[in-house]
Amino acid sequence: MLAGAKNNDVRKMTAGYLVTLAALLASAFITYRSAQTQFELEKTVSHTYQVMSHLRNVRSAISEAESGQRGFVITGRPEYLREYERNVERTMQDLEAVAGLTADNPHQQGRVPELQAAIEERVAIMGQPIAARRAGSFNTAQSIVSSGTGRHLMAAIHAGLAAMENEENRLLDRRRSEAARGRKTFLVSLAVGSLAGVLLLSGLFLFIRKLFAVKAARLRDEARHLSELEGKVQERTAELSALNQNLESFSYSVSHDLRGPLRSIGSQAAILEEDFPDLTPDQAAGLGRIRQGVKRMGSLMDDLLKLSRSTRGELRREEVDVGEIARQALAEIASRHPRTDITTVVADDLRASADPSMVTILFDNLIRNAWKYSAKTPKAVIEVGKENGAFFVRDNGLGFDDSQFEDALEPFRRLESGAQFEGSGIGLSICNRVVQRHGGLLWAKSQPGHGATIFFTLSGEP
């Protein structure tokens, strides 16, 4: 019966994880496709600007070539001839670039040969007075220029360029409009996808939390039943251990595997804020809610990883300076949440045979709770010491009904007095598992409004 329920719950959690992952991937794909489409639209706008730039260059170069020709005919100076030749070459290069850039536009392609023919004919006519001037016949060269031969070609060239520029301006207006619509579509798809991802992750973790609560109740029922069936104690204990291992492995897998997509959502939201500074207040507020949700989910996943790590890996005992670990934990919390109205006391010569990394996790959670629940207490005091063989962390903060303490050791179960504070409800579960792995005990003495003292041992009896 228990094995069947275990497999069913694992299948439910796995299905929920896979559905959420699939939804996140689909959202990422849609956002990617929207970004890709927007990129292509922006490329078409840039492409139009390039065509227009080359058309302006053609107009400018042919005019400057004509000026160079006249300067050479009048003065005979070689620098004018070089200017003429350079601008003729520029004209042909820019015209070739226009032909290449408009290869996908039949209308423009139809105009390019006509424009090229007019330019080549005009260049040939401009070459006639140059040839005469080189031959030493100034009067002949001047007569050709003064005759106005080829003026109709310049008019045709300018008309052709104007027609192509008008076509490109029409395309530019259309492509700008499409790009603007594309940007709006991209913003909407990114915001909706990110929000949907956060909601799906939140739903998945709420589902897991509910399953944990159901399993905790089921395990308590099984424990009462085991007390009546002594012959099946070992078998049921093994089954419960296997179930816990599956849940811990799943918690680790979810917290680890979903960190990448969650980080991607946060990064996308940050990029969106940087790339689109002119968002409306509603859009900016929506992005803020997305990033705040990502931050909360990240914190929850960190706690889930700590919960999993507290029961995984090898226990490595060594001589540990418990007092120094406590002082480091106090310094760390003070740097992140500085206060001036608090006194901390750590007794001297606090040592134990324990795993230093696990003891660090233990004090990090206990001192963080003491710091948090004494936040509203004037002249707060946090004390770390040892009494009757048991270590303790004591504060004069909010306090709680210590009859609730055993329930609060279950994951996601919180003390009623602490409901007003932020937290995932995993911290005491982590502490309890660290102490259990050391073969010790964890208990509390507290009353509402009179602070709390959390006791623990790390090697058996206190």
The model's pTM is: 0.40
Top-confidence residue, 161 or 189: 161
| Domain finish residue from 288, 309, 330 | 309
Same domain, 328 and 252: no
**In CATH, what number is assigned to the domain containing residue 383?**
3.30.565.10
Is position 349 within any domain? yes
Structural domains counted in the chain: 2
- Contacts (Cβ under 8 Å, ≥6 apart) of 2: 222, 236, 239, 240, 243
How much is the mean pLDDT over the chain?
80
Cβ burial of 262 (10 Å; 0-12, 13-18, 19+) is: buried
Q: Which of 275, 326, 270, 334 is nearest to 454 (CA)?
A: 326
Same domain, 200 and 341: no
pLDDT value at position 462?
43
Is position 462 within any domain? no
Same domain, 248 and 338: no
Q: Which of 367, 419, 355 is nearest to 394 (CA)?
A: 367
Beta bridge partners of 259: none
Provide the b/e sequence for 383-398 (b: ≥16 CB within 10 Å).
Answer: bbbbeeebbbbbbbbb
Distance (Å, whole) CA 399 – CA 387 = 20
Same domain, 343 and 229: no
| Domain finish residue from 286, 309, 332 | 309
Same domain, 124 and 268: yes
Is position 333 within any domain? yes
Top-confidence residue, 286 or 365: 365
Is position 146 within any domain? yes
Least confident stretch, 81-85, 242-246, 442-446, 450-454: 242-246
Same domain, 302 and 341: no
Tokens of 243: 């179930």
Least confident stretch, 107-121, 184-198, 350-364, 439-453: 184-198
| Domain finish residue from 251, 278, 309 | 309
Q: Per-residue pLDDT tens for 375-387?
A: 888 899 999 999 9
Same domain, 200 and 88: yes
Q: Per-residue pLDDT tens for 88-108?
A: 999 999 999 999 999 989 988
Contact status, residue 103 vs residue 112, Cβ threshold 8 Å: no
Is position 409 within any domain? yes
Tokens of 371: 């710091």
Same domain, 87 and 180: yes
Same domain, 85 and 104: yes
Is position 461 within any domain? no
DSSP secondary structure letter of residue 231:
G
Q: Per-residue pLDDT tens for 51-89?
A: 999 999 999 999 898 889 888 888 889 999 899 999 999
Tokens of 362: 């233990």
- φ, ψ (nearest 5 deg) of residue 344: -120, 140
Same domain, 288 and 371: no
Distance (Å, whole) CA 355 – CA 437 = 10
Q: How far is CA 274 from CA 268, 284, 289, in A?
A: 10, 11, 16
Query: In this model, does residue 419 exceed pLDDT 70?
Result: no
Is position 384 within any domain? yes
Q: Per-residue pLDDT tens for 257-294?
A: 665 676 667 676 677 667 767 778 777 777 677 766 66
pLDDT value at position 418?
47
Is position 180 within any domain? yes
Domain that holds residue 449: 318-456
Same domain, 74 and 140: yes
Same domain, 288 and 334: no
